[in-house]
Amino acid sequence: MSVGVIFIIFAICLLIAVPISISLGIVAVLPGLFDPSFTASGSFVIRSMLGGIDSFPLLAVPMFVLAGIIMAHGHISKKLFDIFAYFLGNLTAGIPCAVVVTCLFYGAISGSAPATVAAVGSMTIPFLLELGYEKKFSIAIVAVAGGLGVIIPPSIPFIMFAMASGESVSNLFIAGIVPGLLIGFLLMAYCVYYCKRHGEDKEKINTKVQELHEAGFMKVFKDGFLALLSPVIILGCIYSGIASPTEAAVISVFYALIISLFVYKTLKWKDIWHIFVEAVHTYAPILFILAAAVAFSRVLTLMQVPQTISAWILSHFTNKVVLLLVINAFLLVVGMVMDTTPAILILSPILVPIVTQVGMNPIHFGVMMVVNLAIGFVTPPIGVNLFVASSLTEVPVMDIARKAMPMICIFLIALLLITFVPQISLCLLGG
């Protein structure tokens, strides 16, 4: 069976809304069914699926998912937002900028873009509307800024890329810091431009900010300090060598439980079971997608697809700039129609050899790839962040997408800078 037929069948499965894990499983077993002499039989696919998820680094993913859910139920996002609103509230676009910074920090806690949108959006969108900000703008800024959750470490897609490419998770985490901050800064610059052009209700804003100031800096800081400390502890453990990313993920779970149960007291013991069930419901589909994607990528490797595609691309695109632009365009389209996990696991073995041949650092490429797929979180038809934001507000997905277009353009500008200025990603690694 030819590779083209396999990908056509895969596309048809996606178009008729077959779940992606099942679609990947189907196309993984097809070559072995049509050609009994092919190495990848049905039993090989099953072994690959089980072997693919039997990974110590991969254990970090459910742990970060669980920590994010605990902190969402513990209302950590509100405590973070209050701190940033205290300092930024009186500035032009101060409150929308506080939302972006909250997404940055919460992304560093949850490692997930949809989780960041759900946790931050459920609290900040009603607050923005109360202060007189336009509804679609309020929703769009949360949906787009939530994409920072997969760029700012710890990041679940970075763990997936490390698994697929063999690169260091810790190095990928470090490489994601400056690009995430750059995108956050550009989004805040857009918020300032938007608010200067459309105006703000300063009277309402000043009243709310005054309430925070009346509470006093020490109270606001005391309430939010432990929430701010969470990403510092997680990343500090990794970068100091105290713990591996997987061990740091477990630490983040216990830290989230301790501060939510005993310090903030926003959780009760009876809530724990429901949180665990929610975490399982969240991670189980990811696990099945992951297993099927690993099996499919191994089948593609046996069919020598990475080598074939690599040779074709390198023979047709000899200029490095053009090649990177083509890869970016391809990844943007993939991000629109495919979930992050299978996209990374399937495409990394194909694309990493190509970019390394033109002199690109695999760590730098990992950041570029994740930023591309992060844009996919806010671009239809898949656009998970858009659907999460829509479910919170009942505003149609396409209305949010249209309002988000200028911010998506900001994301694209950042992507080009990250692609062609390697130092943005590698500066903290000495590159």
- The answer to whether the CB of 383 falls within 8 A of the CB of 376 is yes
Instruction: Give the domain ranges of the chain.
Output: 3-429
The conformation of residue 8, written as its DSSP 8-state character, comes to H
Gap between the Cα atoms of 119 and 132, Å rounded? 21
DSSP conformation class of 260: I
Are 162 and 137 in contact by the 8 Å Cβ rule? The answer is no
Contact between 145 and 414 (Cβ < 8 Å): no
Non-local (6+) Cβ contacts of 175 within 8 A are: 363, 364, 366, 367, 425, 426, 428, 429
- Record the tokens describing residue 354, joined without a space: 């190509």
Short-list 288, 50, 246, CA closest to 156? 246
Give residue for tokens 């985490």: 173
Under DSSP, the state recorded for 148 is G
Least Cα distance to 378 among 135, 140, 98, 161 occurs for 140
DSSP state of 167: -
Per-residue pLDDT tens listing for the chain (431 residues): 577 888 888 888 878 878 878 888 888 888 887 777 777 777 888 888 888 777 777 788 888 888 888 888 888 888 888 899 999 988 999 999 999 999 988 887 777 788 888 888 888 999 999 999 999 999 999 999 998 888 988 888 999 999 889 899 999 999 999 999 999 999 999 999 999 999 898 888 988 889 888 888 888 888 888 888 888 888 888 878 888 888 988 998 999 899 999 988 889 999 999 999 988 887 888 788 888 888 888 888 788 877 788 788 888 888 899 999 999 999 998 888 777 888 898 889 889 999 999 999 999 999 999 999 999 889 877 788 888 898 888 898 889 999 999 999 999 999 999 999 999 999 998 76
Q: Is 266 helix (H, G, I), strand (E, B) or coil?
A: coil
For residue 127, give the amino acid letter: F
* Number of neighbours of residue 240 by Cβ within 10 angstroms: 8
